[in-house]
Every structure is written in C-alpha cells, then in structure tokens.
A = this chain, B = another copy of it.
Amino acid sequence: MIKLLVAGTVAYDSIETPFGKADNVLGGSALHFTNAASFFTDVGIVATVGSDFDLAGISFLADRNVDMSGIEVDQGKTFRWEGKYGYDLNQAITLKTELNVIETFKPKVPEGYRDAEFLFLANIDPELQLHVIDQVKKPVALVLDTMNFWIENKFDHLMEVIKRVDMLVINEAELREITKEHNLVKGARKLIEQGPACIIAKRGEYGVFMMNRDEVFLAPAFPLEDVFDPTGAGDTFAGGFMGYLANVGEATSETVKQAIIMGTVMASFNVEDFSINRIKRLTMEEIRERYSAFKECMQFGDISL
C-alpha cells in the first residue's frame, strides 16, 4: 500500500542552459517529485502520458517501490515543455508548451491509492486538483503547489483548493501574487486565515521561508558551485519534503522543518545534472552526507553579552 500519492504531470522536456542542452528528456512535476520522494517512502503517481511515452524509461522507479498503475496512457502525444535559462538560473523562459494529452486529462485515483496518508497536488489545473481531493479520504497532510497561470486564470477555483489543504508549497512570487502582499510574513498570515496550517515559500537560490500558526522557519539553499539545470528543482524539493514526512508519518512543526531541509538537499542534487539524472543515480549515503554538511553551514554559537 502506498503512503504518498502525487497528482501531476509526466513530460518530455527540452532544456537549454548556459552549460548545455538536452532534448526530449524525462520531466514533469509528478516525475521529479516521485524520483525524490521514492528514497523515503512508497509513492503512487496519478498522471497521464501519451501513447508515444517510453514506460521502460521510468521502470527504475519500480525498484524504489513506486506504484505506477495510476499513470494513464492516453491516445495522443505526451505533454512537452521547452525552455531555457540564462545565467540567472532562477528564471526559466518558456519557449514552447504542448499540452497534448494533458488537455483532456481527468485524473482518476485508483482504488488502492485512496487512503494514502500523504497527498501532494502538484501544479495542475485547480479544478483537477479539486477532483483529486474529492476522490480520496482525508489524508494526514494534503499539500498544494500551483503556478502564476492558475492564479491569473482560475483564481476562484484555486482559492477553493487552498481552503481544503493543510499546507502550500509555492514560489515566493506566487505567494505575493495570490495575497497581493509584498511582505512574506503578512502574505503567509493571510493564507493561514483561509485554512492551511502551514505556508512554505520557495525562494530559489535563496532557500525557503516557512510559517505556521506559531512559528517562522528559515532555511537557505545549499551553496552549490555548479548548477547545471534548475528544471524540476521545486518539484524535487516537494518530493524530498513529502517523502520525508511520509517516512516519519506525521507533520508536526519539528518534522516539517526537517522535511524542508531534506527537500532542499534533494533539490540541490537535482540541479547538478539535466532532467532526473542526478537523483536517479543518487544514494542514501550521499543524502545523509549532504544533510549533515548543510546543517553545518548554518551552525553558530550563543552570545555572551
């Protein structure tokens, strides 16, 4: 039985960064998420691919206890995204988006997934996110991601989803856009008043801001010397975050903080290579080492004044 369920996209990406190019490589929010989360727990994916999709290319995930029976193969082509980055790797420029099978996707949650204790709604149409929520039992933690397109085009549906989730994991800019509030503390408080107990704002190379009803938690990003391709970093963060929470089995203020660090660690690996490649060949030993090294970068003593 799976502990963690993700609903999102599986895609073929074509990416150009100042450090290289990759054409038609594996991507999509659900895939980056699962690739990371599967180090920590059993994951099930709800997504759609086209008949052109090479399922053998993701068969390695089965060895990590990923259940792929929720991936629907539809007539048509797989979702494709083409983008590039300049030296400021925080900013992706979308060159082309081909929705393909995503356009008519209506996510069906398999019977065996419906009592998953942890549920991540990756960035898809808020109406589809609501449709997923309606099919599952109330999980221990229901976590939402979204993007500017939905904020601008389906705001009312998005707010309906927000009212029903426990946590948001979104970009800092999206938090500002949803709340029309430049200050993160004020913006997070506004959203918490709508229902979610915890707001996590991703700040790219500047790390993560978390606020719940009692606390603020701040984590920098891991200081990498070579960032190769940031595509999927946010979803990889979410995968490490949710995977860790599902592993420990509860979402308290303490476990959420550890999970944020774990998400950051996983994202830091993801950007070291194109597509899902770095996380694909990652080991648990490397994860443990970087978690410790990262913690070391934030340690400082008490003062005596």
Which residues of A are in contact with B by a Cβ distance under 8 Å?
A: 40, 87-88, 182-186, 203, 206-207, 209, 211, 215-220, 223-227, 244, 247, 254, 257-258, 260-262, 284, 287-288, 291, 295-303, 305
Contact = CB atoms under 8 A, between A and B. Distances in A.
A263 to B, nearest CB: 12
Contact of A220 (B87, B207, B291): B207
A40 B305 contact: yes
Nearest to A206: B206
Given A183-B225, A219-B298, 16 more contacts: A87-B182, A183-B224, A185-B224, A186-B225, A206-B206, A206-B207, A211-B223, A217-B300, A219-B220, A247-B305, A254-B300, A258-B303, A260-B300, A284-B305, A287-B305, A288-B305
A38 to B, nearest CB: 13
Nearest to A217: B297
Contacts of A302: 295
25 contacts: A40-B305, A88-B182, A183-B225, A185-B223, A185-B224, A186-B225, A203-B206, A206-B207, A207-B218, A209-B223, A211-B223, A215-B296, A216-B223, A217-B297, A218-B223, A218-B298, A219-B220, A220-B220, A254-B301, A257-B299, A257-B300, A260-B300, A262-B303, A287-B305, A295-B302
A258 B301 contact: yes
A100 B254 CA distance: 55
